[in-house]
Chain A
Amino acid sequence: MALTREQIASIATLARLDLTADEVPLYQEGLSRILEFVGALERADTADVTPMAHPLPGLTQRLRPDEVTEGDGHERYQQNAPRTAAGLYLVPKVIE
């Protein structure tokens, strides 16, 4: 399964990754190799097999009581933020 440059570009767009011009062929080759390798799965007979999303089958979601346990930590949390003002995280203008 060989991927085209365009496919690499569209995957990179979907994943929001900026690739340089010389990176594109590298990923093109790498991803094509990987897809060819995982293509082996096709040969497995999986008729009537339920997909396994979780390694401990049969367990179900635990429910948390509806209690407020967390307070205001924004000053501490925003110490890691690249840009903030008045308690807000700032990003380049969002155009809808």
Chain B
Amino acid sequence: MRTLTQLADGLRRRSFSSVELVGALLARIEKSQPALNAFISVAAAEALEAARAADRTLAAGGGGPLTGVPIAHKDIFCTAGMRTTCGSRMLDNFVSPYDATVVARLKRAGALLLAKTNMDEFAMGSSNENSFYGPVRNPWNPQMVPGGSSGGSAAAVAARLVPGATGTDTGGSIRQPAALCGITGMKPTYGRVSRYGMIAFASSLDQGGTLTASAADAALMLREMAGFDPRDSTSVDAPVPDYVAAIEEPITGLRIGLLAEFFDKGLDAENERCVREALRVLEGLGARVSQVSLPNLPMSVPVYYVVAPAEASSNLARYDGVRFGHRCENPRDLTDMYRRSRGEGFGAEVKRRIMTGTYVLSAGYYDAYYLKAQRVRALINADFVRAFQSVDVLIGPTTPTPAFPIGAKTADPITMYLNDIYTIGANLAGLPAISVPCGFAAGLPVGLQIVGPHFSEARVLAAAHAFQRTTDWHTRVPVGYA
């Protein structure tokens, strides 16, 4: 199995055909599914059909940057004519009549849709245990969670079942599973990638991104996904740099800020060791490391667990059993239809967040919770703005610990929520951030997080790429998936 970049090159040079590649991956997917459960739907026939068309295009000397390359989409992205479940019973039978902009753009670049990946229901979760379709398992150790909510995408790429997959990151849902699965997860600047067709969880935080084996692959995939979309009012109308070219920029003189607040008591000693080792590597490449403090950052998790549920409670009100989605059997009346359809269609964590969000927005509590959280969010944002006046990127661990056992953190919501303690800040401030593998702790991967100012994807990717040119953590593949 080669990287996304290598596969695209190989197809272009016609070293192998897209049909061969798709066939091989379908076989791997089928074999992996009982152990990993990384996918919700597999589009075998459609992918093979598209592969044949791609081979014809390539034979004729045509094609785009990803022609014939199979990828997977997190099942949160709407795919025309194909089931799009968002990991929920609510949308178990939902067939999208349209393609998300991300899906359409990757298609336009020539990529083939091979499968839709498993995920925490409505992207709410950090362990992929909240899927209606059952938990995803970590390919490095099937007793462990892969992280979430893009756990299926992370596991699929880690097990080399697809060379690249899309994900979404609201509080760390790309970076955290990427770290736990030993792959590269890139969350771009808010507004860089269109949210149109990406089923909303928390609109002011959600951002689509990539899960790939390397930063170079992320650069290629992101370049094709990103860009202004007139269908998304929060999409930013700014040119997309050629990230593939930009990542070759050397990092000599790069000013790295070491995030003091991330080296807290919750950080696992092995994770800390890996991250500090990675910093020495970056220093060796000419980067200058200094300590930076963001005093309000520890508030990011409480802010997030007000803002995200508030937006979610409203975003998920459209699932009412009227126009699409689950409707209960024999409703007595309208209210009964609403309450049972939603009560049955949503899982426990989604209901918990809808109720939290409903509460914090309700009369008498709005100021104390929602408005207060948005004020603290502004303080956190100001901390980032201040930090980026003296450093080019911020670096720290992606997660406090490596992957944990399935079932270990389901009892208490706060324990689970604290998995995202290092990733949420970038969502609150809308910053681009990447997680790259930087070692192992007790046989499980550890992630290094690099965060940049708005629209500095090229710089963040270049730092990650420089690190990966001198390390080989990102090339490690779990036993049995080589």
Contact = CB atoms under 8 A, between A and B. Distances in A.
A–B touching in complex (CB under 8 Å): yes
A27 B362 CA distance: 17
Contact of A31 (B302, B352, B427): B352
B283 interface: no
Interface residues of A, number: 56
A96 B132 CA distance: 36
A73 interface: yes
Contacts of A52: 374-375, 377-378, 381
B268 interface: no
Q: By DSSP majority rule, is chain B's interface helix, strand, loop, or mixed?
A: helix
B355 A18 contact: no
Given A54-B234, A92-B334, A73 B324 contact: no
Given A15-B355, A44-B296, A50-B375, A73 B97 contact: yes
Contacts of B205: 55
A38 B369 contact: yes
A64 B362 CA distance: 32
Interface in A35-93: 35, 37-42, 44, 46, 49-57, 59, 61-62, 64, 73, 76-83, 89, 91-93
B429 to A, nearest CB: 6
Given A38-B369, A50-B375, A27 B359 contact: no
Interface string B183-218: 000000111000000000000110000000000000
A40 B412 CA distance: 18
B388 interface: no
A41 B303 contact: yes
Interface string B358-370: 1110100000110
Contacts of B377: 51-52
A26 B352 CA distance: 9
Contacts of A64: 230
Given A55-B204, A92-B332, A8 B372 contact: no
A30 interface: yes
Interface residues of B, number: 75
Given A14-B358, A62-B233, A50 B378 contact: yes
A18 B342 contact: yes
A75 to B, nearest CB: 10
Given A37-B302, A55-B430, A12 B375 contact: no
Contact of A44 (B204, B299, B360, B381): B299
Nearest to B316: A15
Given A40-B302, A54-B234, A55-B190, 8 more contacts: A12-B339, A15-B354, A18-B343, A51-B375, A52-B381, A56-B191, A56-B236, A91-B337
Leading 3 A-B pairs by shortest Cβ distance: A55-B430, A18-B343, A51-B374
16 contacts: A14-B362, A16-B317, A18-B344, A26-B348, A31-B355, A31-B356, A33-B414, A37-B414, A38-B373, A62-B230, A77-B323, A78-B323, A80-B95, A80-B97, A89-B322, A93-B333
